[in-house]
Amino acid sequence: MSRFPFFLGAILALISFQSCQQELPQRPNILFAIADDWGWPHAGIYGDPVVQTPAFDRVAREGILFNHAYVSSPSCTPSRNAILTGQYHWRLGPGANLWSTLDPATPVYPLLLEDAGYKIGRFRKSWGPGDISNWERHPAGHDYTNTGFAEFMAEKPKDQPFCFWLGSSDPHRPYDRGTGLSSGMNLEKIKLFKCFPDHEIIRSDVADYYCEVQRFDTLVASAIQLLEEYGELENTIIVVTGDNGMPFPRCKSNNYDSGTRMPLAIRWGKGIQHPGRVLDDFISTTDLAPTFLEMAGVEIPEVMTGLSFINLLTSDKEGFLDTRNRSFVLHGKERHVPGQEEDMGGYPGRAIRTHDYLYIRNFKEERWPSGTPNYLEAAISYCWLGDCDNGPTKTYMVDHREQDEQHRKLYDLAFGKRPAEELYDLSRDPEQLLNLAEDPAYAEIRDKLSEQLMGQLVATGDPRATGGGDEFDEVPYLGQGPRHPSYTGD
């Protein structure tokens, strides 16, 4: 059965899980903790041998750990827009792009909760980046960046439920070089993604990223401690996740697991009566908004394409539960940074991920997936492989691309052009490095997934699936892109 129409799926899911119904906490508080550029599986409980994430691990142990959570888009603004609106980013016009805007008429869950009596607030990075000065109320709530979650809790009337967005700017670049190593991390123990050359510079860069992941985890720990002090822990749903993958080549801003697959753990006191479970169901972070609204007893707007997963939280089983609705997930990319050679375009693509395969459709295969590799003195001179944040790993991979065949191969995988279709067989290639789209043995699977993907995109109103979408390339870009390290202008 297809994931969409979602209302039909929701009814069937309700029937499937009726036997597990229980009395749920009324109007629970919501603490949404989101890291910036933190990818799966970089948490202790996922088996990472180096990074230490005791707060995330605790949330998972006392709640549920999700193995297959995905963002709508591996880029800050569209990913966050999708979370707030409960809609795929391709339904949000300019909001599909990085450094953009969002139509103030779009329903967002924090404001719907405020209208229903919740106190709402946000800390540090929430919506964006971009410009939402035309919103009367900030879509993520009132700003407590200066005073913190503690002040929010101190202000809150005792009996008023709350919804708080605990944002962090970690582990976004830049990093203090060598902090991972100097903190005692064993670089040799790091499990490097296979899309990176194995070099000490890269291991050290990953360790620096881990340091900031750990700083985010400390923020989560302090928020949990505060909930305990106020006696609110058991009636609060705590969600810990990220907005896109690690800021390294072929990760963030890419439609591979390294860009779109997120750590996700959820704790909900008595709402989860069988804690410590691990789930393999596919979750889109667009599913969070309808889940929060349903928990609060607030009507879910019809425009939301996300699907509440309360049925998973209240189940007593683990593994892959909702086979009707959660056998795949969709994600995609519009413009991250305008890093192409001749226009403001991005690198549009969409993907469908199942337990067995990843299929990607690149709509403009003539463009550069990570932006042009050239350093030009033209109007776009500020972009150098613009879709990849600058850092030691990027510089190493560019500088050593001709060193040998392996370095060249990994450079091309990260920065080279890609065909219109990509297909990865996850049973033999979990890191998605070997494209089988042209292999005759996989033609039938490729065509089936292509048809399924396009059908879902049409059903969810994606302009790229109906012959349009070029308007995404015309949206003003309100930020800057990575410059070549040699750039000395302004």
Of the candidate spans 76-84, 94-102, 121-129, 161-169, the one that interacts with Ca ion by CB under 5 A turns out to be: 76-84
**Which span sits near Ca ion by CB under 5 A: 9-17, 71-79, 203-211, 335-343?**
71-79
DSSP category for residue 100: B
- Nearer Cβ to Ca ion (83/313): 83
Interface pick for Ca ion out of 27, 31, 36, 315 (rule CB under 5 A): 36
Q: Considering the complex, what minimum distance in angstroms separates the CB of residue 243 from Ca ion? A: 4
Query: Cβ closer to Ca ion: 53 or 244?
Result: 244
Residue showing the smallest CB distance to Ca ion in the complex: 76
Give kind and range of the element (H or E) at residue 422: strand 421-425
- E strand segments, 75-183: 119-123, 142-143, 162-167
Taking the least distance from each CB to Ca ion, the nearer of 37 and 57 is 37
Least spacing, CB of residue 244 vs Ca ion, in Å: 5
Instruction: Give the residue with the Cβ less far from Ca ion, 79 or 432.
Output: 79
Report d(CA 316, CA 320) in Å as an integer.
Answer: 12
d(CA 404, CA 240): 41
> In the complex with Ca ion, which residue's Cβ is closer, 390 or 456?
390
284 lines the binding site for Ca ion (CB under 5 A): no
Smallest distance, Å, CB 76 to Ca ion? Answer: 4
Q: Closest distance between Ca ion and the C-beta of residue 258, in Å?
A: 14
Contact set for Ca ion, span 136-155 (CB under 5 A): none
Q: How many CA atoms lie within 13 A of 305 on its CB side?
A: 26
Residue 179 C-beta-side C-alpha neighbours within 13 Å: 14
CB of 406 to Ca ion, least distance (A): 29
CA distances from 49 to 54, 207, 208, 209, 211 (A): 13, 12, 15, 14, 14
Quick check: 362 and 419 in contact, CB under 8 A?
Answer: yes
Candidates 75-83, 274-282, 414-422, 478-486 — which segment interacts with Ca ion by CB under 5 A?
75-83
Q: Per CB under 5 A, does 37 bind Ca ion?
A: yes
Count of residues that bind Ca ion according to CB under 5 A: 5
Report the C-alpha gap between 216 and 384 in whole angstroms: 29
**Window 241 to 270, contacts with Ca ion (CB under 5 A):** 243-244
Stretch that binds Ca ion, among 21-29, 34-42, 309-317, 334-342 (CB under 5 A): 34-42
Cis omega (within 30 of 0) for bond into 139: no
The least distance separating Ca ion from the CB of residue 446, rounded to whole angstroms, comes to: 31
Kindly give, in sequence order, each residue whose CB lies less than 8 Å from that of residue 72, ignoring residues fewer than 6 positions away: 78, 79, 82, 83, 88, 89, 284, 285, 286, 330, 331, 332
Nearer to Ca ion, 244 or 390 (CB): 244
* Residues comprising the chain, all counted: 490
Q: How far from 183 is each of 54, 208, 425, CA to CA, in Å?
A: 17, 9, 38
Smallest CA-to-CA distance from 72 within 251, 261, 239 is with 261
Is residue 265 within 8 Å of 60, Cβ to Cβ?
Answer: yes
Least gap, CB of 262 to Ca ion (angstroms): 11
Question: Tokens in use for 229?
Answer: 């002090």
Nearer residue to Ca ion within complex by CB, 242 or 338: 242
CB-facing half-sphere around the CA of 359: CA atoms within 13 A: 20
Q: Which residue number, 56 or 99, has a Cβ lying nearer to Ca ion?
A: 99
Three-class SS of 317-368:
CCECCCCCCCCEEEEEECCCCCCCCCCCCCCCEEEEEECCEEEEEECCCCCC
We find the least distance from the C-beta atom of residue 128 to Ca ion, in angstroms, to be: 10
User: CB of residue 280 vs Ca ion: minimum separation in angstroms?
Assistant: 25
Nearer to Ca ion, 38 or 442 (CB): 38
Rounded to whole angstroms, the maximal C-alpha distance in the chain is 65
76 forms part of the interface with Ca ion (CB under 5 A) = yes
Nearer to Ca ion, 76 or 449 (CB): 76
Which of residues 76 and 397 has its CB atom nearest to Ca ion in the complex?
76
End-to-end CA distance of the chain: 55
**Under rule CB under 5 A, which residues in 226-245 are in contact with Ca ion?**
243-244
Query: Looking at 32-40, 347-355, 445-453, 477-485, which segment touches Ca ion (CB under 5 A)?
Result: 32-40
Taking the complex as a whole, the smallest distance from the CB of residue 124 to Ca ion amounts, in Å, to 12
What is the nearest approach in angstroms of Ca ion to the Cβ of residue 36?
A: 4
Residue 77 or 372 with smaller CB distance to Ca ion: 77
In angstroms, give the least distance from the CB of 79 to Ca ion. Answer: 7
Query: Can you tell me the distance from the alpha carbon of 490 to that of 484, in angstroms, rounded to the nearest whole number?
Result: 13
Cα 112 from Cα 304, distance rounded (Å): 13
Q: Applying CB under 5 A, which residues contact Ca ion?
A: 36-37, 76, 243-244
